[in-house]
């Protein structure tokens, strides 16, 4: 038996070492972003019964950073369930985004509120605190698009990153379909073929067909994606793996970054692509997008100077940058577009003819995954407020690479939402209404019950101008929330009313610039619900019925409180009450029984003297036999603790045929 015990210990120790080696190997591959193999290792470790905060966090990360938020939700949920006291702040944000992907928005809001308590952590918490009612704001922008899948050109793999190739009436995009090759080249990030640039023809309705390889001069055996063309179609900037003469280049840690390349068209052919000046082997640059006048190049990078830059977390955070394009084509030093960037991931910029910068982000408040946002580029180069463009473009899944032609209101974007043909699909849309860019105020708020703090459904919320003319009104749903669009620099009333409640209203003046205002409204119930055996002292907020020391006569301050009981009995003549008087333990039991009985009877007599039928009132003293805390005989307690036991209860009956309220 002893020998068997030793063998078991040795086997357990061997398994433990093997598991630790697996953890270390998987962790290394996680750092290198080879997520598929890391997933398999972590899954096996968990299957074998080995779990830790690190394992669950990194297993969730392998799905989170591969944009599979529904699967990352499964692992982050276990992390929070099992190790809630040992979680880094970053995971509150990641779990919240994963919860959104399964439409558990209320739980996501709770996590974001917690994330917001980590003061100074990063701008994503600030975004939540500034826009706590972001779902209403998203709904406010929603419904402006008609969307359908561009199935004619989508494949069963990844198709994304559309770009207008205007002079050819074409749309160029990236695809992993890997056609025309006898050898299927698979990338270890996601086990899909390397990306190539394809083009397709666009008709007057935006429908695409005839997908084909754009150019053998631009496409290599590595990744090419997200092109951006000049308006004359003679120059293209695009993303490619860091490579030279057919060989991949790596940084000091052995990772291959992304770079932006540039090519010009000579006749029907493209020249050999060259790198832009701000590329580096040590960080990535990607997703170039030109302004309509060709004078600025927006792009994405995780270079030093990015918000939340962390060399230990490659590709998990990226910012949008901009460089000036000189007449000779040279580029200035890049500048971080700080006003729109967060500690999350900003990517896939596009500038429309109306100078609106569209981009995808995980850091601004959205529906989950990547959402598409918009910010107008002002004449002085500053950026307007970032706005989520709403549904149906945005969903709980990844929605990105948004482009639009402001002349035709037709455009395209990419998404991995359910119902697609492949992994990422291209969707076409018609924009039915322009993005609102005038000065406007979004007024939001929640109508609650003043007694319970619960949201009120069915409250009528009205907006009145300074002359008390009604401007608009809505009825609240179950969450009690309301939202209105108002004009800037004007005075309004917001008023809430509901049957059996006292209305509430607030006077306010809107600011002179676009902004969000939140005004909560509380309604007091004018008909308080009472159930059989309820204690009226709690329902009516009755203060302590005070008696002078060793006395049982009703004091004036006690009478003011008993008047509430009197009023109730008068309003509801079918009801009865039992008065229960309690003392603390600071006297002998018999004395306290007698004192509480006298006080109960004194209270009853006071109500009878006020005209209440004696048959409707019973009274009983309980002495110290029903203490509400530990302060029994011989226990040392503070005066405040003893005070809790000196109380009066007024128990309602008569609402049902028979009830035992003991």
What's the rounded Cα separation, in Å, for the pair 376 and 363? 18
pLDDT > 90? residue 268: no
d(CA 488, CA 469): 17
Question: Which CATH entry fits the domain spanning 536-653: 3.40.50.720, 3.10.105.10, 3.30.1330.60, 1.10.287.130?
Answer: 3.30.1330.60
Residue 533, pLDDT above cutoff 90: no
**What integer pLDDT is reported at residue 441 of this predicted model?**
85
Q: Which residue has the higher pLDDT, 92 or 25?
A: 92
pLDDT at residue number 115: 78
Lowest mean pLDDT among 234-238, 515-519, 553-557, 605-609: 553-557
**Would you say residue 64 has pLDDT above 90?**
no
| Homologous superfamily assigned to 441-525 | Immunoglobulins (2.60.40.10)
* Rounded Cα gap, residues 441 and 49, in angstroms: 54
Residue 120 has pLDDT above 60, yes or no: no
Question: Is the separation of the CB atoms in 492 and 510 below 8 Å?
Answer: yes
- For residue 59, the model assigns a pLDDT of 86
Superfamily per CATH, domain 2-141: Tetratricopeptide repeat domain (1.25.40.10)
End-to-end CA distance of the chain: 61
Q: Which fold has domain 145-431?
A: Neuraminidase (2.120.10)
Per-chain mean pLDDT for the chain: 83
Tell me which of 115-129, 165-179, 533-547 is least confident.
Answer: 115-129
Does 321 or 138 have the greater pLDDT score?
Answer: 321
What pTM, to 2 d.p., does this model score?
0.59
The residue-averaged pLDDT of 275-286 equals 94
536-653 and 2-141 share a CATH fold: no
What does residue 235 show for φ and ψ, rounded to 5 degrees? -135, 140
| Residue 15: per-residue pLDDT | 38
CA distance 554 to 156: 84
What is the arithmetic mean of pLDDT over 89-104? Answer: 88
Q: What is the mean pLDDT of residues 231-251?
A: 88
Q: Is the pLDDT of residue 575 over 60?
A: yes
Domain ranges, ordered by start, for the chain = 2-141, 145-431, 441-525, 536-653
Residue 642 token pair = 């003893």
Tokens for 34, please give them: 């080879």
pLDDT of amino acid 192: 55
Mean pLDDT over 316-323 rounds to 88
- In terms of pLDDT, which residue wins out, 643 or 481? 481
3-class secondary-structure state, position 607: helix
Tens of pLDDT, residue by residue over 15-62, are 333 344 344 444 444 444 333 455 766 676 677 676 778 878 888 887
Nearest to 69, CA basis, from 97, 108, 39: 97
Per-residue tokens: 79: 């992390």
- Give the 3-state secondary structure of residue 428: strand
CA distance linking residue 653 with residue 407, whole number of Å: 73
Contact criterion met (CB below 8 Å) for 170 and 199: yes
> pLDDT at residue 2 above 60?
no
- At residue 613, does pLDDT exceed 80? yes
Cα gap 656→70, rounded to integer Å: 50
Residue 558 has pLDDT above 70, yes or no: yes
Query: Does residue 380 surpass a pLDDT of 70?
Result: yes
Q: Average pLDDT of 244-258?
A: 82
pLDDT 10s digits, 392-436:
999 999 999 999 999 999 999 999 999 999 889 999 999 998 876
- pLDDT given at position 659: 56
> Is pLDDT above 70 for 324?
yes
What is the reported pLDDT for 552?
67
């Amino acid at each position: 038996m002893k020998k068997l015990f030793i063998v078991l210990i040795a086997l357990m120790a061997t398994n433990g070492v093997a598991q630790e080696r697996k953890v270390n190997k998987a962790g290394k591959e996680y750092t290198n972003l080879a997520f598929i193999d890391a997933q398999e290792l972590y899954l096996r470790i968990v299957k074998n019964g080995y779990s830790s905060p690190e394992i669950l966090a990194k297993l969730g990360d392998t799905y989170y950073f591969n944009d599979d938020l529904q699967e990352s939700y499964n692992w982050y949920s276990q992390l929070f369930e099992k190790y809630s006291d040992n979680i880094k702040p970053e995971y509150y944000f990641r779990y919240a985004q994963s919860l959104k992907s399964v439409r558990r928005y209320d739980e996501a809001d709770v996590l974001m509120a917690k994330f917001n308590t980590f003061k100074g952590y990063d701008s994503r918490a600030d975004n939540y605190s500034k826009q706590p009612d972001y779902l209403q704001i998203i709904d406010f922008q929603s419904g402006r698009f008609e969307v359908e899948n561009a199935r004619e050109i989508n494949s069963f793999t990844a198709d994304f990153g559309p770009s207008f190739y205007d002079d050819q009436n074409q749309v160029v995009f990236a695809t992993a379909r890997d056609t025309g090759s006898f050898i299927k080249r698979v990338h270890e990030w996601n086990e899909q073929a390397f990306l190539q640039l394809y083009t397709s023809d666009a008709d007057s309705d935006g429908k695409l067909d005839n997908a084909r390889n754009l150019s053998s001069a631009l496409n290599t055996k590595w990744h090419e994606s997200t092109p951006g063309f000049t308006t004359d179609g003679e120059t293209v900037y695009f993303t490619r793996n860091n490579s030279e003469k057919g060989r991949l280049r790596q940084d000091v840690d052995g990772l291959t970054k992304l770079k932006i390349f540039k090519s010009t068209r000579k006749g029907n052919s493209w020249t050999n692509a060259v790198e832009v000046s701000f590329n580096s082997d040590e960080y990535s640059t990607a997703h170039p997008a030109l302004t309509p006048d060709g004078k600025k190049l927006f792009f994405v990078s995780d270079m030093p100077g990015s918000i939340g830059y962390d060399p230990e977390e490659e590709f998990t955070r990226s910012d949008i940058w901009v460089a000036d394009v000189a007449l000779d084509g040279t580029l200035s030093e890049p500048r971080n577009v700080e006003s729109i960037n967060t500690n999350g991931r900003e990517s896939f910029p596009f500038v429309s003819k109306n100078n609106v910068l569209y981009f995808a982000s995980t850091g601004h408040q959205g529906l989950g995954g990547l959402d598409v946002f918009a910010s107008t580029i002002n004449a002085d180069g500053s950026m307007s407020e970032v706005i989520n463009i709403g549904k149906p473009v945005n969903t709980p899944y990844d929605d990105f690479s948004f482009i639009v032609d402001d002349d035709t209101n037709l455009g395209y974007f990419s998404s991995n939402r359910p119902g697609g043909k492949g992994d990422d699909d291209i969707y076409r849309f018609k924009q039915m209404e322009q993005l609102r860019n005038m000065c406007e105020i979004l007024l939001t708020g929640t109508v609650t019950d003043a007694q319970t703090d619960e949201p009120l459904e069915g409250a009528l919320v009205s907006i009145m101008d300074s002359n008390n003319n009604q401007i608009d009104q809505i009825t609240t749903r179950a969450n009690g929330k309301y939202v209105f669009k108002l004009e800037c620099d004007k005075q309004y009333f917001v008023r809430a009313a509901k049957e059996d409640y006292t209305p509430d209203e607030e006077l306010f003046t809107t600011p002179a610039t676009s902004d969000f205002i939140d005004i909560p409204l509380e309604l007091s119930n004018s008909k308080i619900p009472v159930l059989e055996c309820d204690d009226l002292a709690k329902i009516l907020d009755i203060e302590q019925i005070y008696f002078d020391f060793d006395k049982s006569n009703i004091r004036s301050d006690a009478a003011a409180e008993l008047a509430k009981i009197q009023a109730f009995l008068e309003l509801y003549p079918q009801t009865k009450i039992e008065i229960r008087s309690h003392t603390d333990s600071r006297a002998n039991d018999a004395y306290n029984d007698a004192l509480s009985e006298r006080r109960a009877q004194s209270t009853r007599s006071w109500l009878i003297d006020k005209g209440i039928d004696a048959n409707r009132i019973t009274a009983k003293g309980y002495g110290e036999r029903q203490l509400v805390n530990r302060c029994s005989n011989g226990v040392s307690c503070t005066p405040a603790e003893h005070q809790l036991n000196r109380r009066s209860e007024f128990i309602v009956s008569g609402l049902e045929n028979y009830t035992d309220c003991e």
